[in-house]
Chain A
Amino acid sequence: MPSLGADMEAGKLVEWLVKPGDQVKKGDVVAVVETQKGAIEIEIFQPGRIEELIAEVGQTLPVGAPLARLASEGEMAPSPSAPQPPVAPQSAAPSPPPAPAPIAPAAPSAPPPASSPPTAAAGMGPVLASPAARARAVELGVDLGAIPGSGPGGAVLLADVEQAATHLPAEPPAPTGKPGLDMAEMRRAIATAMSRSKREIPHYYLTHEIDLQAAQERLTAVNADRTPDRRLLLGALLVRATVGALAKVPELNGRFEADPFTPAAAVHCGLAIAMRGGGLIAPAILDAQAMDVDAIMDAMRDLVARTRTGRLRNSEITQGTITVSSLGETGVDALTGVIYPPQVALVGFGTPRLKPVVLDGAIVARLSVTATLAADHRISDGRRGAQFLGEIARLLQEPDIP
């Protein structure tokens, strides 16, 4: 069960999209898991062949629990009578008598666990591990505490994590919960992430008013010649400019998971999407740095549509390197955001409005938007943040629309 955010403790398997014997490649969607963020498509992290489906549809499993056994290339044909030894110590017996699985501490809709074997809820204490191993374990959704370490003092090394990820041990079935998006759970997930952000990240904030009149006029002209399915929204221009400005101030883009911070090469731009029932999801447009404004618009449409009606993928909700939060047309003047950890910056846009501005010595009405940068002071300083907002403003004066 991969971790789909630092706030996730357990997930429920709702669908298998592969069966034993299937060949898979990195990035294939193999299963659907229901989480605090709704149903998420799970992509596999390495190629190989599905040996065995361990988790059953309907099971709720703690993060780190095995879903399936994957044979990686080079170990393709283990005999079924000689299974590879499970790695996690807590599930050493491959076929324990069925017992209700212990639930992650706060899973709400589950009855209290009956008599149960020790489980993946163990291993929460500090674990000796190399930074690379930690980062990889988070990426793979593997519980570090469940991996025997081969390093000094039993420290878990990168190779141990890679190894463990290829043999995933069994977990007994769990009682099923209620399907569908649970708003109370989503609220709790937001609370966890935002509390962590405010506790750990020394935020600083910069605000800049940006003239959008030229951008809006260009947009109106372009959209007049387009059918609705190809029209652009101002929001796509804001995202394009934010992504473009990161080329000038790359240290605002990345995930602060290991010290020292290394900026990410790719821009996976998260979009804060508000749910009408309350709550918020911030899935990312992957590799946005390579996209023109039309491609960004298509990606935004797709993300919003799948957030509302379909499914997001685990890469989209776990890989974001920066977030844009935009109030849209019916909001208020400005949005001062909370960074989504472990990212290091968030750009908030208020609602664009006609405002009096001084242009060539005269006061005129221009469409303007207030952009607010929230950034991590451990990583960047106000001067660089100001250059970033300045670059966003500059890019919006000459929007690059094909």
Chain B
Amino acid sequence: MTDLRAAFLEELTSVAPDLDAASIGDDDHLQDDLGLDSMDFLNLVSALHKRFGLPIPEPDYPRLATPAKAAAYLAEKLGARR
């Protein structure tokens, strides 16, 4: 879970290099708190898709709204696949 959180933050700060991973809170909302726009968010989803091979359909987007939610989502989807 901490690995997934770290991986998520790595992709997040790669899409938004002006964000500092250390200062991002688990419950920070990507759009409302961290200021991602829809293009940044889509680039993040694309990066996660590439890294984990998950389809991440649009209806699942709300489940990536914060680092905590995203880590739980990734754990669930990756666990289900194993």
Contact = CB atoms under 8 A, between A and B. Distances in A.
A228 B56 CA distance: 7
B76 to A, nearest CB: 18
Interface stretch (B1-9, B41-49, B67-75): B41-49
B43 A305 contact: yes
Interface string A220-235: 1001100111010111
Interface in A307-322: 308-309
A304 interface: yes
A233 B18 contact: no
Contacts of A229: 46, 49-50
Nearest to B31: A330
A276 B35 contact: yes
A148 to B, nearest CB: 46
A224 B58 contact: yes
Contact of A301 (B16, B35, B39, B55): B39
Which residue, of B31, B39, B46, has the highest number of chain A Cβ atoms within 10 A? B39
A398 B34 CA distance: 34
A328 interface: yes
Contacts of A329: 31, 37-38
A277 interface: yes
B18 A276 contact: yes
A249 interface: no
Contacts of B40: 304, 308
A329 B17 CA distance: 21
A308 B38 contact: no
Given A276-B18, A330-B32, A233 B49 contact: no
B24 interface: no
Nearest to A233: B38
Nearest to B57: A224
A253 to B, nearest CB: 24
Nearest to A274: B37
Q: How large is the interface on B (under 10, 10 to 19, 20 to 34, 35 or more residues)?
A: 20 to 34
A69 to B, nearest CB: 36
A328 B56 CA distance: 21
A231 B37 contact: no
Contacts of A220: 58
Interface residues of A, number: 23
Contacts of A301: 39, 42-43
A229 B51 CA distance: 12
Contacts of A231: 42, 58
A308 B15 contact: yes
Contacts of A308: 15-18, 40
Nearest to B35: A276
A228 B45 contact: yes
A328 B37 contact: yes
A233 B16 contact: no
Contact of B42 (A233, A274, A276): A233
A328 B36 CA distance: 10
Contacts of B55: 227
A304 B56 CA distance: 22
Contacts of B16: 276, 308
Given A224-B57, A229-B49, A330-B32, 18 more contacts: A220-B58, A227-B46, A227-B49, A227-B55, A228-B56, A231-B42, A233-B39, A235-B39, A275-B18, A304-B37, A304-B39, A304-B43, A305-B15, A305-B43, A308-B16, A309-B15, A329-B31, A330-B37
18 contacts: A224-B58, A228-B42, A229-B46, A229-B49, A231-B42, A233-B38, A233-B39, A235-B38, A274-B37, A276-B18, A276-B35, A301-B43, A308-B16, A308-B40, A309-B15, A328-B38, A329-B38, A330-B32
Interface of B: 14-19, 31-32, 34-35, 37-40, 42-43, 45-46, 48-50, 55-58
CB-based closest 7 A-B pairs: A228-B46, A229-B46, A228-B45, A276-B35, A228-B49, A304-B39, A328-B37
